[in-house]
Amino acid sequence: MSDRFRLTIAQLNPTVGAFGANAAKAEQAWQAGRAAGADMVALPEMFLTGYQTQDLVLKPAFVADAMAAMEQLAVTCADGPALGIGGPYSDDSGLYNAWWVLQGGKVVARMLKHHRPNNDVFDEVRLFDQGPISGPYRIGPLRVGTPVCEDAWHEDVPEALVETGAEVLLVPNGSPYRRDKLDLRMQVIVARVVETGLPLIYLNAVGGQDDQLFDGASFALNPGGELALQLPPFDEVIEHVDLARGPEGWRVLQGRLAPQPDTWEQDYRAMVLGLKDYLGKSGFSKVLLGLSGGVDSALVATIAADALGPANVRCVMLPSEFTSQASLDDAADVAHRLGCRLDTVSIEGARGAVAQALSGVMAGTAPDVTEENIQSRLRALMLMAISNKHGEMLLTTGNKSEVAVGYCTIYGDMAGGYNPLKDLYKTRVFETCRWRNANHRDWMEGPTGEVIPPAVIDKPPTAELRADQKDQDSLPPYEVLDAILERLVEGDQSVAEVVAAGFERATVKRVEHLLYISEWKRFQSAPGPRLSTRAFWLDRRYPMVNRWRDQG
């Protein structure tokens, strides 16, 4: 019996519902493995259908098509290494999140996910039935145990696989990104390796799906927690992993250890890839956005240029009488530095027409936020018209701080198909701009250098909807606002706890009030990439109508 085993792992980017395209990617990986002399080729959880499918997987026709595609893939990949790939399975006993092993033109094993995550961004309990704990399967000289994603986060499935003869654990995953997620994965998987005494290969998907990102960063650990392989995050990679059997059993031979970028770079890459995949998988290749001369729209324009290339980004300045010359100059500077097209469309004529049309029903009232919101909604009207005419998806540019407290206009600056900054607080917006000015990577399609003028980052934020307006007129300073929001949202702290941390009670209560009354706006907001543990709607789901307030 051979003492060597070659496993090809394919850290790839599927598209939900694109069975043919996903199967073609799987076949390409299998061909690469066959050419490299692999014994087995492995792809991530639910790869054939894409992940997450949400309620699509409850449609019997969807599952039937997926299973038919899986059977065809087995035939296509009959002459060569075994192929492990995720996809749904249904029979009289139920519907399962399964991982299929194909060899010699047929299905030779099928692992049914036992633990269904029902927290965080997952609700698999309502989608899938619980599978039994599957035993190991033999591929050539090796008995492989496959806990499917969540199964590796619990002790019982790996323990049962060891007891039934598994010699290595291969874990296919659809594990979504959020800040510092790799550290958490490592902690959990090290525990499994220590408990089982087996080497473990953790294979994760990459790519964007709606508001979730899968970051790859696949790795392998040997007993004792020794890191034998680490793949880069967010890149598609096909990697050949060699295992050898020695006196103490099977071990993963040392492979490459790709460096893992810091948090700022990973968040930025997530925003770029999230936008790129949301557009590409939806059939869009171009975007537009309102470029105000402010920091948020400057960062969105930069993200778009890095995702799609500057030639595919249209920036539009929509001035009113309140737009300063500095804002006009800053917007032009950003567009020039990025190499993006900049159009100017004044809203003054339209604003006058709307004021005239409303003059009767608004007679005798004083100008207030109503007139400010008209300006924002007129800008949305102009931008959506350009979007419709040229087939460019409109990006909205509100950050998490503004979205949290409703400092945004529904059907105005909130209008758009995608929001790259949705889960990024304002203070992080500033720092992300500075990071991008100082760094450029091969995966960025935008230019190198200082693409966001320091003047744009440093000037006081303003919506410019009235004379001399500043955000701080309506909100606490962003460093205070964000610190309170992080405690209320990410930390789920009580008002008393936030006050005990040194914040004024009146300010905390005001922020809490704004947070709750803005839920209806967030319900209608554009999707955007999840970066944190408490992204609005994905992680934090609150009622729109809510009369409770924390009296602590």
Q: What is the pLDDT of residues 525-536, one digit of tens each?
A: 999 999 999 999
SS3 of residue 471 by DSSP: helix
Q: What is the mean pLDDT of residues 493-516?
A: 96
Asked whether residue 552 is domain-assigned, the answer is no
DSSP 211: T
Asked whether residue 465 is domain-assigned, the answer is yes
Q: How many CB atoms lie within 10 A of CB 322?
A: 16
Q: Which long-range contacts (CB under 8 A, 24 or more apart) does 220-223 make?
A: 220/252, 220/255, 221/189, 221/190, 221/193, 221/252, 222/193, 222/251, 222/252, 223/193, 223/194, 223/197, 223/198, 223/199, 223/248, 223/249, 223/251
Domain boundary among 212, 240, 256: 256
User: Are both 234 and 275 inside the same structural domain?
Assistant: no
Q: What is the mean pLDDT of residues 347-367?
A: 93
User: Are both 447 and 463 inside the same structural domain?
Assistant: yes
User: Are both 138 and 116 inside the same structural domain?
Assistant: yes
Cβ neighbours of residue 388 closer than 8 Å, sequence gap 6 or more: none
Asked whether residue 88 is domain-assigned, the answer is yes
Q: Are 288 and 343 in contact (CB under 8 A)?
A: no
User: Are both 507 and 374 inside the same structural domain?
Assistant: yes
Q: What is the mean pLDDT of residues 39-56?
A: 97
Kindly report the CATH number assigned to the domain that includes residue 211.
Answer: 3.60.110.10
User: Are both 283 and 208 inside the same structural domain?
Assistant: no
Active site (annotated) includes residue 25: no
Asked whether residue 122 is domain-assigned, the answer is yes
pLDDT at residue 344 tops 70: yes
- How many domains would you assign to the chain? 2
Structure token pair of residue 338: 């990025």
Identity of the residue numbered 432? T
Kindly report the CATH number assigned to the domain that includes residue 354.
Answer: 3.40.50.620
Structure token pair of residue 333: 């500077």
pLDDT at residue 461 tops 90: no
pLDDT at residue 224 tops 70: yes
Beta strands in 43-123 (DSSP E): 82-91, 94-103, 106-112
Annotated active-site residue in 25, 45, 340, 408 = 45
User: Are both 217 and 288 inside the same structural domain?
Assistant: no
Given the structure tokens 């939900």, which residue do they identify? Answer: 16
- What is the band of 473 on the pLDDT scale with cuts at 50, 70, 90? confident
d(CA 318, CA 298): 14
Q: What is the pLDDT of residues 186-218, one digit of tens each?
A: 999 999 999 999 999 999 999 999 999 999 999
Asked whether residue 446 is domain-assigned, the answer is yes
- What is the band of 419 on the pLDDT scale with cuts at 50, 70, 90? very high
d(CA 111, CA 116): 13
Domain boundary among 256, 279, 296: 256
pLDDT at residue 129 tops 80: yes
User: Are both 146 and 273 inside the same structural domain?
Assistant: no
Annotated active-site residue in 25, 77, 124, 149 = 149
User: Are both 407 and 513 inside the same structural domain?
Assistant: yes
Asked whether residue 317 is domain-assigned, the answer is yes
Domain boundary among 205, 222, 256: 256
User: Are both 211 and 351 inside the same structural domain?
Assistant: no
Active site (annotated) includes residue 45: yes
Residue 276's domain comprises: 264-523
Asked whether residue 541 is domain-assigned, the answer is no
Q: What is the pLDDT of residue 464?
A: 64
User: Are both 234 and 283 inside the same structural domain?
Assistant: no
User: Are both 280 and 250 inside the same structural domain?
Assistant: no
Active site (annotated) includes residue 315: no
Count of CA atoms in the C-beta half-sphere (13 A) of 386 = 24
pLDDT at residue 294 tops 80: yes
User: Are both 223 and 337 inside the same structural domain?
Assistant: no
Asked whether residue 19 is domain-assigned, the answer is yes
